[in-house]
Chains A and B, each alone.
Chain A
Amino acid sequence: MKKVAIFTEGHCELIFLRKLILNVFNYQNISLTCLEVVGDKQRQFPYKYEDPNYNINFELICVGNDTRVLSYIKDRYEGLIDLGFSMIIAIRDMYSKAYKKRVNHIDHSVIKSFIEGHQKTIKCFEKKGCHVQIHFSIMEFEAWLLSMPDLFPKIDQSLSIKNIKNQLGYDLTRISPEREFFHPTKELDKILNLIGKKYNKSQDQIESLIAHLDLSDYQQAAIDDKCPSFRDLYSKFLVLNKKAI
């Protein structure tokens, strides 16, 4: 059995990943546990899933802070190996205080320096047999949602591509949220404002948004390739799924 630990900076990313994994694997051959870290304690996070014939065990852990993702993995790396984990995936946003301190726009050289810096950190503690991969959402995980335009009419019929274009000036089927939006959270908020809602990132709201996504949304986003950071992550799960079957 393969054990994969996935660490996310927040609960939004965890909920998104949970649904993505369940959809990619079609609820088969996997078990899934979700945890969140509060202070220095781990507690259960909804929800747990287990296929009786699972051969991949995913553990999703929300650490609650962007700079905590790698620190948390580093401090527990040996313990994770002892527990049998052979793959660790770290997920965080590029948009951060440290990034904004450098520039206030999308800058590929700054993005590159953050990715290289994180990879260098991983090399300092990583050992053979348990690979650690860092995946940045660029600039935020919300860019991935914006790269799935079919999501919005499912939330509310009035959030058609045409209406969003008329109101906000961009065509979600054409633009690359990863290249266009420095602060994708704001754009998602603007879209929800069109139906009188605010994007508050609450657990309930994220659960409700993510519930509208299905495999076709992920597939289309990967084919359109408007967010290469999402495509890379999605491809990873496709490979894992092939091995699990």
Chain B
Amino acid sequence: MRLDKITYSEFINQPNEWKIKNFSFGEINLIVGQNAVGKTRTLNVINGLAILLSRKGEIPFREGNYQVNFSDKKEDYEYRLKYKDKCVLREKLIINSVTYLDRKEDGKGEIFFKKENKFFDFQTPKNEVAAVARRDNLQHPYLEKIYRWADKCVKYLFGEKMGKDTLLIHSEIGEPISNINIKDTDKAVKFFLAGYKKYKEDFNKEIINDMNKLGYNIEDLNTKTPEKLSLMGKVPSEMLVSKIQELYVLESDLNGETYQHEMSQGMFRALSLLIQLNFLFLVEKPGTILIDDMGEGLDYKRSTQLIKILIDKAKKYKAQLIMTTNDQFVMNSVPIEHWFILKREGSRCYGYNYRTSKKMFDNFELTGLNNFDLLTTDFYLTGNTKNTER
């Protein structure tokens, strides 16, 4: 399943009102815009939906109103969910123009039973999402598709630590791959060991190869008990240095290993992302991958190479990639067909992309300017290339 379109609002007519309307996405998407236009918030809205559709139990958020379209090769899904004060007010699922689930504020509704080929009434707790609470692969197999989308949707915060400070305790080492939660994005060590366990050297080689393409001359990658690490303060016995593992790399121009706590933030971010994405691509069936602040902390060569690797892999493994960036190099290396320009007026966000504004994007290519100038000149709004005063 791929997320095609999303309309979302929350806290209407209140000071914290927020609206996005008809944001449409393709396979590769780079969300760009000035600071504070809502790039990260847009990813959070998508990730929030993934949380709502993949977790059983009470709704963890206060208020929201989603209208979302998904599709795969066979079917078009339209899903609507409105909730307030953590209770669902309305929920509806339409597949290929036929309603399969329709539920009202009191929790009562109708749902299609496949074996009986009929609709039956149901009631679900007011504070639970029926699409999750009613999961049943025999009677409602169509719900599995959106559950799987939500379950496989992962958000990475590239501008953050990406797990640099997270080490692995020995007791976690033998855990089966099924125990891995792909959303635990600060557990790079765990992902590495799980991928290594399944694919052995092939997994290792793939990551080393990717890191080499970025210009990191790595010859080996593995985990080890750190030799030079000392933990501060009172440390529980399971956390003794002798009982933990961290990632290390062997660089061709250095004699000793470089442990993850010694790596630069930029290097570790790239390593962590590549470990986790290769794990997703090789071990799991990837879905929608959200990456916030793509390229942050990397230099020109590395950020442009990393983006190329990610796009190539996303295409190869048929994953949907939705990234945000403030990085000029990333913007210039991603074709504008993949751009999604965000503009905010008050609490309303507007999106411009190749699907919705093809003529404008085509005209921009005639100007001879690089992608970044599409933003700096406001060409997408004015159609001219005069620099905007800011």
On A, residues with C-beta under 8 Å from B are 38-40, 65-71, 74, 92, 97-98, 101, 113-114, 116-118, 120-121, 124-125, 134
Contacts and interface: CB of A to CB of B under 8 A. Distances in A.
B367 A120 contact: yes
Contacts of B377: 124
A120 B301 contact: no
A69 B368 contact: yes
Nearest to A116: B366
B368 A101 contact: no
A71 B365 contact: no
B300 A71 contact: no
Contact of B368 (A38, A39, A121, A125): A121
B258 interface: no
Contact of A38 (B300, B363, B373, B385): B300
B302 to A, nearest CB: 10
Q: Which 4 A-B pairs have the closest CB atoms?
A: A117-B366, A39-B300, A98-B365, A118-B368
Contacts of A71: 369-370, 372-373
A70 B365 CA distance: 12
A40 B372 CA distance: 13
A183 B301 CA distance: 27
Contacts of A70: 367-369
B300 A125 contact: no
Interface string B286-303: 000000000000011100
B384 interface: yes
A73 to B, nearest CB: 10
Given A67-B332, A98-B365, A114-B368, 12 more contacts: A39-B301, A40-B300, A69-B368, A74-B373, A74-B387, A117-B363, A117-B368, A120-B367, A120-B384, A121-B369, A124-B385, A125-B385
A116 B61 CA distance: 53
Nearest to B377: A124
A102 to B, nearest CB: 8
A125 B388 CA distance: 11
B386 A65 contact: no
B329 interface: yes
A172 B219 CA distance: 50
Interface size class of B (residues with CB under 8 A): 20 to 34
Contacts of B370: 65, 67-68, 71
A124 B384 contact: yes
A174 to B, nearest CB: 33
A40 B332 CA distance: 12
21 contacts: A38-B300, A65-B370, A67-B369, A67-B370, A67-B371, A70-B367, A71-B372, A74-B373, A97-B335, A114-B366, A116-B366, A117-B365, A117-B366, A117-B367, A117-B368, A118-B366, A118-B368, A121-B367, A121-B369, A124-B384, A125-B386
Contacts of B301: 39
Interface in B317-367: 329, 332, 335, 363, 365-367
Nearest to B336: A98
Contacts of A113: 366
Contacts, number: 60
Contacts of A116: 366
A166 to B, nearest CB: 40
A102 B369 CA distance: 17
A44 B204 CA distance: 39
Nearest to A118: B368
A200 B370 CA distance: 25
Interface hub of A65, A69, A74, A113 (most chain B Cβ within 10 A): A74
B385 A67 contact: no
Contacts of B384: 120, 124
A40 B387 CA distance: 19
Nearest to A98: B365
A67 B336 CA distance: 12
A69 B386 CA distance: 16
Contacts of B368: 66-67, 69-70, 92, 114, 117-118, 121, 134
Nearest to B301: A39
A124 B386 contact: yes
A113 B365 CA distance: 10
A122 B371 CA distance: 16
Contacts of A92: 368
A72 B168 CA distance: 47
Contact of B387 (A97, A114, A117, A125): A125
Contacts of B329: 39
A74 B369 contact: yes
A124 B379 CA distance: 12
Contacts of A68: 332, 370
B385 A120 contact: yes
B224 to A, nearest CB: 34
Contacts of B365: 98, 101, 117
A37 B247 CA distance: 35
A67 B331 CA distance: 13
Contacts of A97: 335
A38 B299 CA distance: 11
Contacts of B366: 98, 113-114, 116-118
Contacts of B371: 67
Contacts of B386: 124-125
A51 B377 CA distance: 41
Given A70-B367, A98-B365, A101-B365, A121 B300 contact: no
